[in-house]
Amino acid sequence: MITCLHTAQVHVDTFGALIPNARHVVNEGFLERARADGIEAVRAEVGAELARLAADGPVLCTCSTLGPLVDDAGNPQVLRIDRPAMEQAVAKGGEVVVALCLESTRSATLALFEEISGGRAAAKLVMCDSAWPHFERGDILAFSAEIQANVRGQGARVLLAQASMAVAADGLRAEGMEVFTTPEMAAQAVMALAKR
Can you give the pLDDT at residue 145?
98
Can you give the pLDDT at residue 4?
97
Q: How confident is the model at residue 196 (pLDDT cuts 50, 70, 90)?
A: confident
Can you give the pLDDT at residue 100?
96
pTM: 0.89
Can you give the pLDDT at residue 95?
97
Can you give the pLDDT at residue 143?
97
Average pLDDT, integer, range 23-45: 95
Burial 137-157 (b: 16+ CB within 10 A, else e): eeeeeebbbbbbebbeebbeb
> What is the distance between the alpha carbons of residues 141 and 149, in angstroms, rounded to a whole number?
12
Residue 46, pLDDT > 90, answer yes
Can you give the pLDDT at residue 162?
93
Instruction: Report the chain's mean pLDDT, rounded to a whole number.
Output: 95
Can you give the pLDDT at residue 44?
96
Q: How far is CA 103 from CA 99, 100, 156, 179, in A?
A: 11, 8, 23, 21
Q: Tell me the percentage of the chain whose pLDDT exceeds 90.
A: 95
- pLDDT tens for each residue of 94-150: 999 999 999 988 999 999 999 999 999 999 999 999 999 999 999 999 999 999 999
Q: How far is CA 130 from CA 134, 146, 184, in A?
A: 8, 7, 25
Average pLDDT, integer, range 14-40: 95
Residue 192, pLDDT > 90, answer yes
Residue 62, pLDDT > 90, answer yes
Q: How confident is the model at residue 63 (pLDDT cuts 50, 70, 90)?
A: very high
- pLDDT tens for each residue of 165-188: 999 999 999 999 999 999 999 999
Pairing of the two strands 59-61 and 78-80: parallel
